[in-house]
Structure formats: structure tokens, C-alpha cells
Amino acid sequence: MKCTRFLLVACILSLAVAGIVLAAEQDKGPEKITIDTNKAKKKVVNFPHRKHQEMQKGDCQSCHHKTKKGEKPQSCGKCHTQVKDEDPKTKAIGFKKAFHKKCQGCHKKHKDKPELKKCKNCHGRK
């Protein structure tokens, strides 16, 4: 009888832990993000989202700059609605400029991946 209770409690705890782990995995967002807003002129960008999350150690605000601590980050396109120009309503810069500014700025700051200055190294990357 004690063995049965012990097994029942162990199973319940295991399921609870598995649920917490799965919930944490779901909160990470996608592994990769395909950015294809300007595919008529440039090849798509396959952004390694999960890799960047791991490098930032969960500091989502470093990229999702309008997200408050504890909030779920929104996609960049939620605010940066125009491809090139500023959104006349929100005054948010265009998607293309936002990505170039954020990505290139961060890589320059960390003196990392100088080859990313060449368009083809992001556009068309697998």
C-alpha cells in the first residue's frame, strides 16, 4: 500500500515537472524566424532566434525593446509595420531599418561576425 502511494506521488510530481519544462520551452519562442518582407529584392533571412536567446541569457528586452519585464515579447512586425518608411501613426521606423540597426549595431558593438556587413551573409543564409 505504501509503495503504491509512493509511486502515485512520484508519477504526479514527474508530470508536474514535465509540465513546467514544457511550458518553459514554449515561452522561448521559435527556434528560427524567417524574415521575408523584402524578398522581391533580397533573399529571405533565416534568423537563428534561439541561438540569440541563449547568447542573451534570456534578456528579451535587448531586442524586444518595448517589452516590459515579465511580458511576453511581441514580434518585431507588431510595431515596425512598414517595410522601409516610418509608420505615420506610431512613428516606429520601418522593419528593414529596425532590423539593420539592431542586428548590425549589436554585432559591431560586440566586434562579432564582421562578415555580416555583407548582405549575402544574412540574406540567403540557411
CA distances from 117 to 16, 73, 106 (A): 46, 27, 12
pTM: 0.63
Do 72 and 27 form a contact (C-beta atoms < 8 A)?
Answer: yes
Question: 31-65+75-126: what CATH class?
Answer: alpha beta
Write the pLDDT tens digit of every residue in 14-51. 554 444 444 444 467 889 988 887 666 778 888 889 98
Write the pLDDT tens digit of every residue in 57-113. 778 888 888 888 888 888 888 888 887 888 888 888 988 888 888 888 888 777 766
- Structural domain boundaries of the chain? 1-29, 31-65+75-126
